[in-house]
Amino acid sequence: MNGVQGRGRTGYTTGCCAAAAAKAAALALCKKETVKSVTVALPECRTVQITIESVWFDSTKGGASVRKDAGDDPDSTHGMLVSVELEQSDENRFYAGEGVGTVTLPGLTVAVGEPAINSMPRQMIVQAIQSVTREKMSITVSIPGGEAVASRTFNPRLGIEGGLSILGTTGIVRPFSTDAIAETIRCSLSIAAARGVKDPVLVPGNIGRNAALKIFPGSKNRIVEVGNAWDSAMQRIGAFGFRSFTVVGHPGKLVKLTQTVGDTHSSRSLRAVDILKNYLLDTGISVTEDRITTEDLLLSLDSPVREKLLKDACAQIALSLDKAVKTAAAVKCLCEEVVLVSMSGEVISGWKRGTKIE
């Protein structure tokens, strides 16, 4: 199975692989054909050819497997088998086989208790089957080894238990794209809203998450992990009826938001330590020593200078996030509070709406 060519070698989502396996399974069950490849229709109004690894059938069931190729993207499911087994039924019904998780929280596009296969992959799978037969099917999707891999993903935080989720929206995996992260953020925001949250707490990662749990007791349902994809979060946060949002994290990540809201990955953004040094230079303070980390730089400053630097950074982070939300949509969901914490999770600075920016 060869990925579509472009900026780096692209691959195929788990949903696309499942659709291909479903089509091969339908051909096996309904026409007793064992194929080596199938054509699958993508939501982008084009088709792709997918290699089939194995096919099996008997008098009542048919199945097939595809080995996922994620192209040049560091996808955790690259190389895993995606299998679909079909059995004729009175309705199209999805089941979670080995390695596919089950939804346990409201807010996703499928109901609690359903296999964690989102609406677009379901549509692709059913469409693939219907290109072969109009018979209704029981559809069991399996990803052997998926439960172990899922423990290293966002799935447990989305309330998906027992295995992986299938969340693809385009069928194509683009190298180092934020598509999957953006969809995960949207799911996380949707789940928070479904649980009655009005003011989510956005964090870059574990440091912010652990700190937020201490700073805001009982806030587990409010926390949404953004990673580096702040542009995706700001584009989506206005769609869920939140009153406002709070941001908690280490300045090594959040200070980057003073420049522009976007991708804060180290390979695609300025270093936070350089941003702070430039700000200090603008105020007449030159840092001549080579300070490698943000904390190293902050500890080198006198307390009044450090406090003012961090207060100003907090205020600018909020302004930048507000601007991004207003650009995305005409909504009133704006940043209410910014909290900066140390590597150990201790609060080192903060800002709340209504605070004067000096």
Q: What is the pLDDT of residues 291-347, one digit of tens each?
A: 667 888 888 888 999 999 999 999 999 999 998 888 766 667 899 999 999 988 899
pLDDT at 277: 86
Q: What is the CATH number of domain 11-173?
A: 3.30.2110.10
Say if CB 115 and CB 95 are below 8 A apart: yes
- 7: pLDDT confidence band, cut at 50, 70 and 90? very low
Identify the CA nearest to 84 among candidates 114, 126, 45. 126
pLDDT at 309: 92
CB contact burial 111-134 (16+ within 10 A = b; e otherwise): eeebbbbbebbbebbbebbbbbee
pLDDT at 119: 87
Every domain of the chain and the residues it spans: 11-173, 195-352
Q: Which of 181-190, 242-251, 255-264 is the least confident region?
A: 255-264
Identify the CA nearest to 311 among candidates 273, 346, 342, 356. 356
* Statement: residue 121 has pLDDT above 80: yes
Average pLDDT over all residues of the chain: 86
* Statement: residue 177 has pLDDT above 70: no
Q: What is the pLDDT of residues 130-166, one digit of tens each?
A: 999 999 999 999 999 999 988 877 788 788 999 998 8
* Statement: residue 1 has pLDDT above 50: no
Q: Which of 63-67, 81-85, 203-207 is the least confident region?
A: 203-207
Percent of the chain's residues with pLDDT above 70 = 87
Average pLDDT over residues 231-257: 92
pLDDT at 141: 98
pLDDT at 82: 96
